[in-house]
Amino acid sequence: MDKAEHLLEKAWRARRDRHLDTAHADLDKAIIMSRTAGDGAVLAKALMHQARVERDRGRPNSAVPLYEEAVRLYRQLDDPLVLACAVRHLGDTHSERGDFDEAMPCYDEALAIYRAVDDPPALALASALRPMALLHEAQGSNGIALPLWREAFDLYDAAGIDAGVQECGTHLTALAAPHSPSQ
């Protein structure tokens, strides 16, 4: 394992322990090292981690260009699953910022990538469906959101993710409930 990858692991542990300043500093070093070495795969991963730290720090605006660069790098690599993950996280960040028109194409692309892969990981696919369902529901497109929630429910259930099953069930129940006419 090279030094940049070691810093990535160290930074991710620091993030997990909520030592965000330490994680940020280590990721800055890993980004510089991987740029210098010309290692696009490690650079993309470091950028993704740094973007997550920025979001943890409440700075989604700072995360967007990091995710965008990671997506550009992942487009050059032959790993559609990491590309789909990066695109979805970019969409999540746009959603956090309230940029729903920027988020939806990201969610569409991530979902299309997962659907084009033979046997995508159930949890990854569910995690791509969830924010898309949330966004459609928030925009009042319940007819689009409902099948997304159903599919995510089934995937979370198959993966044994109780919190995902509960969340999907809550949304499915709310969407299926008859609405009383406005008075």
pLDDT surpassing 50 at residue 100: yes
Show the domains of the chain with their CATH numbers.
1-61 (no CATH), 78-177 (1.25.40.10)
Question: Residue 171: CB partners within 8 Å, gap ≥ 6?
Answer: 133, 134, 137, 145, 149
In this prediction, residue 183 has a pLDDT band, given cuts at 50, 70 and 90, of very low
Q: Which two tokens stand for residue 28?
A: 């800055």
In this prediction, residue 89 has a pLDDT band, given cuts at 50, 70 and 90, of very high
Q: How confident is the model over 78-95, as a mean pLDDT?
A: 96
Q: What is the pLDDT of residue 180?
A: 44
| Residue 177 or 91, more confident | 91
Q: What is the pLDDT of residue 177?
A: 81
pLDDT surpassing 80 at residue 1: no
Q: What is the pLDDT of residue 179?
A: 62
Reported pTM: 0.91
pLDDT digits (tens, 9 = 90+) for 101-111: 999 999 999 99
Cα distances (angstroms) measured from residue 36 to each of 4, 12, 49, 104, 156: 10, 21, 18, 34, 40
pLDDT surpassing 70 at residue 52: yes
Q: How confident is the model over 106-120, as a mean pLDDT?
A: 96
- Angle value at C-alpha 84, between 156 and 30, nearest 5 degrees: 110
